[in-house]
């Protein structure tokens, strides 16, 4: 097959340059086995060249790269439109080609701990000036996009570029700072902050916004803020220019609580696990606030956090009650027909209800997901009580259903087997694989007594 024409290659080049990093990476993997002399060989070379260029670009612009996401209109974090990153790089390649090549040479043997980063820093300084001057089309478009995304967006972008050399050095120490602060690492954090505000008096919040963007969990930047400010009390922090970081985290907790309270029971195990993970995140976030800010329980943030903890326990306990209720609905019982039998027995007239069963399964997945956060969250006792009650119901139900199968008193043998399979599925989530296997073996032994099953239980 003939190779693509130059015109078509240019079309592909335009599309690839506009594609997100993830798409370009997927293209590279898809074309990895393409031979050099095939029709797509030129496309493979183009994609590989683009991947290499983006690695250089993302290294040079690393301090702002994670801030360039989506449309840049996030009201809860300082961000810029994703296209800004490509436009800045396009502008640098057009206006500072020699400096870009120098950076490329550095990048080829780059070691963050050993290499000089002056060539990278020189490029971000050029970019900051060019965004403000708007003389080149690429920088002008980047500035206009930033302005359209938020008020004074272009100046904020240029100001972040001003801070890029400081953030580049500081970001390498983020893992160390998040783990723990020694006397030396604390001094380094304070020095980095001092360097930032030396560039601009109002640079403090931007500096921490840029550090937060480098983190998997941006709210953990409070650890660094706390160390720089020597563990401030909440009133001091709430009245400072850093107040937004605490307020934002408190709002995140409020929003997560609402999501847990209304998660869709018909959304299946995935929705339930997501809600359970939110519970864990909330407990970690509350612990973060309590550990790194000197709080008062009687007013302000401390009082609000106390209410959030109580709300979390209440919401989770409500879901645990739902779990117990739906397990009993999934395995329904009725009074025995014989007066001398006072205990309830399985109702085996109708087959299991799929929706009720699915809800019970989802809620038990939620219960599993919150086990690691139950102690700190204050709902460990409620969780254990629910699991005990559900376990007792499962034991009783299985015993009675197996007995009805053995004696031939089950109204519908196939319905009984279906309910016992539901019981096995629920046992798996409550007690594990061995418990589920035992239910299935007992069911098989009751329905096929002549076969040599391992155990009857």
Q: What is the pLDDT of residue 452?
A: 63
Whether residue 131 contacts residue 154, with contact meaning beta carbons closer than 8 Å, is answered with: yes
Residue 154 neighbours by CB under 8 Å, 6+ apart: 131, 132, 134, 142, 143, 144, 146, 147
Domain interval for residue 16: 6-57
How far apart (Å, rounded) are the C-alpha atoms in residues 395 and 367? 19
Query: What is the C-alpha separation between 42 and 50, in angstroms, rounded?
Result: 12
Residue 171 buriedness (CB in 10 A; 0-12 / 13-18 / 19+):
buried
The reported pLDDT for the residue numbered 57 is: 94
Does 381 fall in a domain? yes
Q: pLDDT tens digit string along 172-187?
A: 999 999 998 999 999 9
Structure confidence by residue, pLDDT tens digits, 192-206:
999 999 999 999 999
Residue 114 lies in a domain: no
Q: What sign does the CA torsion over 144, 148, 149, 151 have?
A: positive
Question: Is 336 a domain residue?
Answer: yes
Q: Among 42, 57, 72, which residue terminates a domain?
A: 57
In this structure, the dihedral spanned by the alpha carbons of residues 343, 344, 348 and 349, taken in order and rounded to 10 degrees, is 110
Asked if the structure places residue 127 within a domain, the reply is no
Give residue 34's pLDDT: 72
Per residue in 363-397, pLDDT tens? 999 999 999 999 999 999 999 999 999 999 999 99
Asked which of 16, 41, 57 is the last residue of a domain, the reply is 57
User: Looking at the domain assignment, is residue 137 inside a domain?
Assistant: no
pLDDT given for residue 345 in this prediction:
87
Kindly state the average pLDDT of the residues 86-109: 95
Nearest to residue 390, comparing CAs of 419, 428, 355?
Answer: 428
Q: What angle do CA 408, 443, 436 make, to 5 degrees?
A: 155
Q: Is residue 330 situated within a structural domain?
A: yes
Q: Using CA atoms, how far apart are residues 393 and 378, in angstroms rounded to an integer?
A: 25
Nearest to 444 by CA among 420, 415, 412, 408: 420
Give a yes or no: residue 86 inside a domain.
Answer: no
Let me know if residue 346 belongs to a domain.
yes
Q: CA 268 to CA 260: how far, in whole Å?
A: 14
Report how many domains make up the chain.
2
Phi-psi region of 299 (alpha: psi -120 to 50; beta: other; left: phi over 0): beta
């Amino acid at each position: 097959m003939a190779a693509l024409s130059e015109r078509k290659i240019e079309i592909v080049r335009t599309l690839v340059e506009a594609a997100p990093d993830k798409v370009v990476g997927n293209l590279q993997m898809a074309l990895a086995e393409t031979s050099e002399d095939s029709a797509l060989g030129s496309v493979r070379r183009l994609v590989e060249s683009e991947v290499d260029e983006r690695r250089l670009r993302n290294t040079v612009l690393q301090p702002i790269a994670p801030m360039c996401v989506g449309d840049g209109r996030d009201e809860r974090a300082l961000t810029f439109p994703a296209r800004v990153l490509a436009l800045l790089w396009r502008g640098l390649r057009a206006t500072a080609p020699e400096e870009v090549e120098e950076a490329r040479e550095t990048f080829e043997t780059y070691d963050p701990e050993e290499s000089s980063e002056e060539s990278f820093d020189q490029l971000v300084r050029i970019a900051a000036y060019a965004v403000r001057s708007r003389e080149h089309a690429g920088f002008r478009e980047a500035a206009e996009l930033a302005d359209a995304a938020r008020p004074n967006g272009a100046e904020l972008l240029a100001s972040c570029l001003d801070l890029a050399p400081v953030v580049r050095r500081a970001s390498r120490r983020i893992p160390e700072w998040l783990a723990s602060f020694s006397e030396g690492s604390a001094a380094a954090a304070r020095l980095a902050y001092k360097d930032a505000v030396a560039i601009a008096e109002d640079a403090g919040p931007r500096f921490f916004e840029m550090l937060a963007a480098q983190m998997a969990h941006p709210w953990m930047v409070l650890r660094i803020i706390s160390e720089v400010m020597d563990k401030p009390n909440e009133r001091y922090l709430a009245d400072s220019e850093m107040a937004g970081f605490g307020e934002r985290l408190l709002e995140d907790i409020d929003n997560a609580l609402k999501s847990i309270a209304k998660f869709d029971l018909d959304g299946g195990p995935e929705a339930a696990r997501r809600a359970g993970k939110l519970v864990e995140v909330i407990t970690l976030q509350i612990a973060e606030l309590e550990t790194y800010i000197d709080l008062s329980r009687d007013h302000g943030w401390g009082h609000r956090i106390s209410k959030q903890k109580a709300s979390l326990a209440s919401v989770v306990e409500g879901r645990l009650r739902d779990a117990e209720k739906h397990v009993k609905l999934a395995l329904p019982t009725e009074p025995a027909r014989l007066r001398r039998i006072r205990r309830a027995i399985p109702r085996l007239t109708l087959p299991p209800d799929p929706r009720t069963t699915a809800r019970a399964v989802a809620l038990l997945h939620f219960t599993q997901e919150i086990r690691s956060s139950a102690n700190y969250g204050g709902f460990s006792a409620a969780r254990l009580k629910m699991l005990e009650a559900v376990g007792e119901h499962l034991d009783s139900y299985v015993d009675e259903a197996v007995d009805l199968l053995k004696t031939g008193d089950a109204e519908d043998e196939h319905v009984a087997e279906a309910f016992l399979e539901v019981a096995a599925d629920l046992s798996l989530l409550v007690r594990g694989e061995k418990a589920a296997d035992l239910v299935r073996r007992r069911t098989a032994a009751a329905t096929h007594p002549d076969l040599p099953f391992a155990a009857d239980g």
